Chains A and B, each alone.
Chain A
Amino acid sequence: MGGAVEVSRLVKAYGSLRAVDGLDLSVRPGEVFSLLGPNGAGKTTTVEILEGLRRPTSGTVEVLGRDPWTEMDAIRARIGVIPQEFHFFPRLSPREAIRLYARLFDRKVDEEALLATVELLDKADAMYDTLSGGQHQKVGMALALVNDPELCFLDEPTTGLDPRARRSIWAVVRRLRAEGRTVFLTTHYLDEAQQLADRIAILDHGRVVAAGRPDEIIGRYGRPERLRLIGDGGLESKLRPLGLPMVPVPGGVEITLGEKADALAILNAVASSGLAWESFSTVSDTLEDVFIRLVGREEDGGVRPAADDPGAGR
């Protein structure tokens, strides 16, 4: 225990539908933790339970050591939340919104500095309903930071934004981490998680199917490294005697490496054969490949680990 967020055996059921189905999570103080999953996996339900907005059906949830549903008053001042599809009062400006929050939280806030942090200085006095989607999200960021929170929840903060707006939101997330805050980020963008997160949990059907550092997850659930050779059609028969798993790819062949030294044996065999080859490269799985293998139910042959996989949720 002692994490910023501790969740164990969390269940949220709507009738017979279990949106969250036995979820375990642990978020360490000061890290960026990303909850990744396809639409409908239960990300938003989970994060809203953590924010005290939904009542869990069963299981235990602790945010900063408190139960968010019953003890929200004790933690409200210590967390910052940017909900999915953030909306605010259409006829208030970002500056007025920040002022309102500062007075509600009873805090002195350097408005200019906060507006600068979220890159909204030039729109500080424009009415909210005249701002763009990315600017709306930045207002949400600014409001979430008014109370100088130690833990920030960001629920799909960049969904629907253009690449530039996404990058400026990413910059804010990096700054939050640098300031020592814990960030809980849900997203369905793999690059976003890979760019920002210290640790990731992949969620599917309301359960964690994989968790850990991105490279750990790839190492555990990804396929081994492969060597790809492009060249003469005769390569495949020449290399078969090496006894390595091999699949044809357009213009060449891909050989799975058991260990690094296998690559040398393959290249030696190619050199001694005298056959022409154009290029070779090593191929390893990306987070996206792993993600697809874990949650892409139709394409794969059921590589989903059991829910009690020792790696999941820890």
Chain B
Amino acid sequence: MNPRRIAAYFPAFAKGYLRNPLGLFMSLIFPVILILIFGAVFSNSGSQQVPVTVENLDHASAASVEFLSALNATGAVSLSFVGPDAGNLSGYLAQHGLVAGIVIPDGFGAAIANRSAVALLVFTNPSSGSEAGLVEGAVQGVANGFNLELAHGSPVIGTETLHVGSQLYGYIDYLVPGLIGFSVLVSPMFSMVNISSTWKRDKLFRQLSLTPLTRGEWLAATLLWYVLLAFLSAALLVAVGALVYGAHVTITWGAVPFLVAGPILFVGLGLLAGSVSNTPESAGVVGNIITFPMMFLSGTFFPVSLFPGWLQTVARVLPLYYVIDGLNAALVFANSAAVYQDFLIVGILALVVSLAAVRVFSWRDER
């Protein structure tokens, strides 16, 4: 192992990588695009209000206005109004692709004043079940409040809502470590599968074997590059997550072992996949078979805790799961016990896979 030769080869490899726009896009830009898209789609899903269309046939009586403002105050719905000229409300809702509507009948205010029974019409679309339930629940709740007040009763059972610990964290807080894991997986895997197969075809390894550069030095320079990329990508994702979506990410030393061992593990795995294949095409297929399940099932885009039980078991077989779990423990939960445990697994895997790759991967024709 001669550091001078590693230092000689490293810039040549880095130049080749940086001059390929596709590699740079995959490793640094694509994860940022993903965090922007997934963050925008899922970030506010918790506070989403269901749009409800209201047709008030009671000519804006004081009672109807009071009822609607109480409904609005629940925060579960956002109200919009249509006049009687809209015709049949059910038809109007269907036509405009709306989920829910309420009709306040003529004489609503008068009925309340006389304490005679009156029915509100609530339209919901059964195909959007959870939203329908939300609207029905909100209307029912407000109606019960009115009934209680009219009966001069007082509530016996009250509720107080508290947050469970993990609910303090939003989707975006899981997304940042998840996408760092994505980047740690994807940039070495895709390019090492490609490098190990096309360089073999083009006899570039043979060419390097004619110089004093050794396989170990080559691997060291390559690992150095992908570790560097992992840190760059992590910094970018933390910055975008925190600045754009206000992710609660704390930068701690606990992330470092995963940003080092993760790329080492996947460089080794990519090298293995490329070395066991005879052509770049079959190497690409083998690489994808390894990469894609990990890409989706290891908690990259969604926390694994949301998966059904059997799928969680599958996730725990995938190496990337432990990288992402460890990054979550380090960056989000500050749980050092989990960091140690996950790092132990990732570290051992990285060691085993690298040793296997070095064994299988040869520069000369040993036959």
Contact = CB atoms under 8 A, between A and B. Distances in A.
A129 B88 CA distance: 69
Given A89-B204, A106-B4, A106-B212, 6 more contacts: A88-B204, A88-B207, A89-B16, A91-B15, A92-B16, A100-B9
A21 B204 CA distance: 28
A261 interface: no
Contact of B211 (A48, A86, A92, A104): A104
B366 interface: yes
Q: How large is the interface on A (under 10, 10 to 19, 20 to 34, 35 or more residues)?
A: 20 to 34
A303 interface: no
Contacts of B212: 73, 76-77, 104-106
Given A89-B16, A105-B212, A52 B8 contact: no
A89 B12 contact: yes
Nearest to A73: B212
A286 to B, nearest CB: 34
A96 B367 contact: no
Interface string A89-123: 11110001000110111100000000000000000
Interface residues of B, number: 23
Contacts of A86: 207
A85 B209 CA distance: 16
Nearest to A144: B210
20 contacts: A14-B367, A53-B364, A53-B365, A54-B365, A83-B203, A86-B207, A87-B204, A87-B207, A88-B204, A89-B16, A89-B204, A90-B16, A92-B15, A96-B12, A96-B15, A100-B12, A103-B5, A104-B9, A104-B211, A105-B212
B187 to A, nearest CB: 17
Nearest to A128: B16
Interface in B54-113: none
B359 interface: no
A173 interface: no
B213 A104 contact: yes
A52 B211 contact: no
Contact of A91 (B8, B19, B202, B210): B19
A81 interface: yes
Contacts of A53: 206, 209, 364-365
Interface in B318-367: 364-367
B116 to A, nearest CB: 84
Nearest to A153: B210
Contacts, number: 64
A53 B211 CA distance: 12
Contacts of A51: 210
Interface of A: 14, 48, 51-55, 73, 76-77, 81, 83, 85-92, 96, 100-101, 103-106, 127
A83 B207 contact: yes
B16 A103 contact: no
A144 to B, nearest CB: 8
A103 B364 contact: no
A91 B206 contact: no
Closest 4 CB pairs of A and B: A103-B8, A87-B202, A91-B19, A104-B211
A90 B210 CA distance: 18
Nearest to B217: A104
B239 to A, nearest CB: 29
B195 to A, nearest CB: 10
B4 A76 contact: no
A55 B367 contact: yes
Nearest to A91: B19
A104 B8 contact: yes
A127 B19 CA distance: 10
Contacts of A14: 367
Best-surrounded residue of A77, A85, A89, A127 (most CB of chain B within 10 A) = A89
B20 interface: yes
Given A14-B367, A92-B12, A101 B211 contact: yes
A63 to B, nearest CB: 13
Contacts of A88: 204, 207
B15 A52 contact: no
A106 B78 CA distance: 73
A205 B301 CA distance: 60
A91 B16 CA distance: 5
Contact of B203 (A54, A85, A90, A104): A85
A54 B364 contact: yes
A193 B89 CA distance: 94
A155 B10 CA distance: 29
Nearest to B209: A53
Nearest to A76: B212
Contacts of A100: 8-9, 12
B204 A48 contact: no
Interface string B1-37: 0001100110010011001100000000000000000
Interface string B211-238: 1110000000000000000000000000
A55 B211 contact: no
Nearest to B5: A104
Best-surrounded residue of B5, B8, B19 (most CB of chain A within 10 A) = B8
A265 to B, nearest CB: 60
A51 B364 CA distance: 10
A90 B19 CA distance: 10
Contacts of A85: 203
